[in-house]
Amino acid sequence: MGEPVRVLVTGAAGQIAYSLLYSIAKGDVFGKDQPLILVLLDITPMMTVLEGVVMELQDCALPLLREVIPTDKEEVAFKDLDIAILVGSMPRREGMERKDLLKANVKIFKSQGAALDKYAKKTVKVVVVGNPANTNCLIASKSAPSIPKENFSCLTRLDHNRAKSQIALKLGVTANDVKNVIIWGNHSSTQYPDVNHAKVNIKGKEVGIYEAIKDDSWLKGDFILTVQQRGAAVIKARKLSSAMSAAKAICDHVRDIWFGTPAGEFVSMGVISDGNSYGVPEDLLYSFPVVIKDKMWKFVEGLPINDFSREKMELTAKELTEEKETAVEFLSSA
């Protein structure tokens, strides 16, 4: 057993964290022989609830969990971190404009970015989950100038997993038989789930998705809409937002950063767009297909993009550009 890895989860008293913390603590993310220190940050009114979460983590009697630190203070939470998973954000309330939501979150992520800059290791990997995730991630990164931009990513793995699963369900195969779906762009309803480059394993043979499904109108219509609007569909049914599936996607995302992607496979992740070859404007936090090795991601290059895809990729880039402009305005006043 080596040195413990120090992991922060924010919004730690919330429902995504409730599903996430057990998976991390039992070794699903960093491996079965990697000791952990879990730091749990939430706002002051949630401290009593957080105490209950700490009790439950203790009661799981987990061998890898060396220490649990609940706090409402950024200087405690962000100290010497190896990984920061920023789940906490201001949720959208009834009648709230997206602009108001952005403003509230700029404040949070500016503050957390500055705390990362001041207290965390410079090698820290930061994963933003709280929505609007892409723009929150960009703001955190801009507020932490001493930490490399590449160390920041936002979660689009839930969308990626949703796309993978829809294809698997349609074909009657397991999700593991489907690989290399792509989520381009924003973690919003403008995201573009792209299966032009994806493959499915049917009876030991790798086949393209269009060839396997033979239903172009479904792939260009209902499939895309289902993935784009899945979060809203879950809320409508459960009256709560996705938690179990979000936590699973966070585990997948962080595990891939830590251990790398399997050979021949790529995953979707919101990352800084600088230097991409797909015509996405610079300085956006945009979801791309990436491969990961030695804890560093690289763009998957050279995928041919058809006109249908290009239009959808540009649409989501436009939304992200507008979000960024609004957020950067607030940033100077936050």
Which pLDDT score, from 0 to 100, does residue 63 have? 97
* Interstrand relation of 205-208 and 199-202 (parallel, antiparallel or unpaired): antiparallel
| Mean pLDDT, range 75-82, rounded to an integer | 98
- The domain limits of the chain are 5-154, 156-321
Say if residue 98 carries a ligand binding annotation.
Answer: yes
Is 156-321 the same fold as 5-154?
A: no
pLDDT > 80? residue 1: no
| Mean pLDDT, range 206-215, rounded to an integer | 98
Say if residue 276 carries a ligand binding annotation.
Answer: no
As annotated, the active-site residues are 187
| Mean pLDDT, range 231-256, rounded to an integer | 95
Q: Give residue 93's pLDDT band: very low, low, confident or very high (50, 70, 90).
A: confident
CATH (residue range 156-321): 3.90.110.10
pLDDT in tens, 279-324: 999 999 999 999 999 999 999 999 999 999 999 999 999 999 999 9
Answer for the pair 320, 135: CB distance below 8 angstroms, yes or no: yes
CATH 3.40.50.740 assigned to domain 5-154? The reply is no
Say if residue 88 carries a ligand binding annotation.
Answer: no
* Residue 76 to residue 41: CA distance in whole angstroms: 9
pLDDT > 90? residue 2: no
* Model pTM score: 0.97
Answer for the pair 126, 151: CB distance below 8 angstroms, yes or no: yes
Task: Among 98-107, 143-152, 213-222, name the one with the lowest average pLDDT.
Answer: 98-107
pLDDT > 70? residue 107: yes
pLDDT > 70? residue 334: no
pLDDT-above-90 percentage for the chain: 94
| Mean pLDDT, range 256-269, rounded to an integer | 97
Which pLDDT score, from 0 to 100, does residue 96 have? 77
pLDDT, mean over the chain: 96
Say if residue 92 carries a ligand binding annotation.
Answer: yes
pLDDT > 80? residue 95: no
Which pLDDT score, from 0 to 100, does residue 91 have? 85
* Residues near 239 by beta carbon (within 8 Å), at least 6 away in sequence: none
pLDDT in tens, 9-55: 999 999 999 999 999 999 999 999 999 999 999 999 999 999 999 99
pLDDT > 90? residue 229: yes
| Mean pLDDT, range 98-124, rounded to an integer | 95
